[in-house]
Amino acid sequence: MKRDFTQRFGFLVKNVAKLYGEEFDRLARERIGLSSAQCRLLGVLAMHDEDEPLSQAELAQRLGLTPMAVAGLCDRMAAAGWIRREPSATDRRVNKIHLEPSAEKALDAALSISDGLNARVMAVLSQAERVQLLSLLTKVRGSLTGITSGEAQKP
């Protein structure tokens, strides 16, 4: 008997994320010459508000990537002038990562690409459905965060 998993939550969410990610990646490469992983890296750096810049290891953790993968991303992005590596003053094994001014334009372009893609993807939903979808996904993310951190209540 053939099974259909297409309406199961995990399968559907993963499939939507994959399709969305592939389209965003295609558009970002085409329009600004950056992959979606590079855009995510710039986004994580831009969202970081603390006085101390992120290290490559912290960046890897926030991106959910291996330190080696982030090192490769940083190599390419530093060579292209999007970021700057600075050795830590307290630990010579650590590099702190800084956004270069050119990254601001790339981030604005990536947000514009994302806004355009969101508009196209969400066009099949009414405004109320869009609000409801985002609200429900936020709730589910909160539930999953609780489950994975061990804070969730057992059913």
Q: Mean pLDDT over all residues of the chain?
A: 92
Give the count of domains, the chain. Answer: 1
- Whose CA is closest to 97, among 149, 135, 44? 44
CA dist., res. 70 & res. 153, Å (int):
35
Q: Would 84 be classed as within a structural domain?
A: yes
Q: Would 12 be classed as within a structural domain?
A: no
- Whose CA is closest to 117, among 57, 28, 53, 14? 28
Residue 20 has pLDDT above 90, yes or no: yes
CA dist., res. 129 & res. 62, Å (int):
30
Mean pLDDT, to the nearest integer, of 33-43? 94
Q: Would 97 be classed as within a structural domain?
A: yes
- Whose CA is closest to 55, among 105, 28, 23, 92? 92
Q: Would 5 be classed as within a structural domain?
A: no
Q: Would 68 be classed as within a structural domain?
A: yes
Domain that holds residue 113: 25-125
Q: Would 3 be classed as within a structural domain?
A: no
pTM over 0.85? The answer is: no
Q: Would 11 be classed as within a structural domain?
A: no
CATH number, domain of 121, equals 1.10.10.10
